[in-house]
Amino acid sequence: MDSVIAQINSAIGAQGFIKDQCGMLVNTFGHNIFGLLSAAIDPKIICPVVAFCFTDAEREVSIGIQSVVDRSHGVSPVSASTPNCVICKTIVNLMHKAVSANMTQETVIKLAGELCALVPSPLGESSVDCARVPSLPNISFTIGGKEFELSPNEYIVKTGEDDEERCVSGFVAVETPPSGGPLWILGDLFMSRYHTIFDYGNLRVGFAEAA
């Protein structure tokens, strides 16, 4: 089932949130990280310096070093156990090795971007470029021999406004034990398009176009 969701999200160009955050880190802070590494700043404190993640110890170590983060990017410091923090430290370690090998800034940032491209789309939400939503394909489910179609505006969830707007795929893989799966959960996105009736007495479900 996970592979089917992955295929759908791939078809609509959705990227895992972690991959998206990795790309944002490199594109937004890559040059700053390269500059800090070139200045021989300890790699261990760089993620706190760009305010991508903190531990209590790192807060103390980084005192006196001005954060290079532009808060308009909406990045908030997070704990060291979060995926964002793990990604930041992985990127910094890769860039540190490249800088130590005397690679150019352009090459180092390109390598970091290539690493982000290799991050698999995990279970959980995947994001889509909001500008592409009008051109995305319709997605159809065949249930009981009948097709139930959803348009991009129906299966993409938009949050935030203006520069903070995000478009998230409504197709999410969920881990289920072998005894309980595979299964599909047709949630509110589907039911907002199709009126759903649960006939428990006859163990059946009916769908009809919502008014």
User: For residue 24, which of 74, 98, 78 has the smallest C-alpha distance?
Assistant: 74
pLDDT of residue 115: 80
For the stretch 129-143, pLDDT in tens is 888 899 999 999 888
pLDDT of residue 68: 41
pLDDT beyond 90 at 21? no
Domains in the chain with CATH codes: 2-14+125-209 (2.40.70.10), 16-117 (no CATH)
Alpha helices for 101-184 (secondary structure H): 105-117, 152-155
pLDDT beyond 80 at 18? no
For residues 14-27, average pLDDT: 76
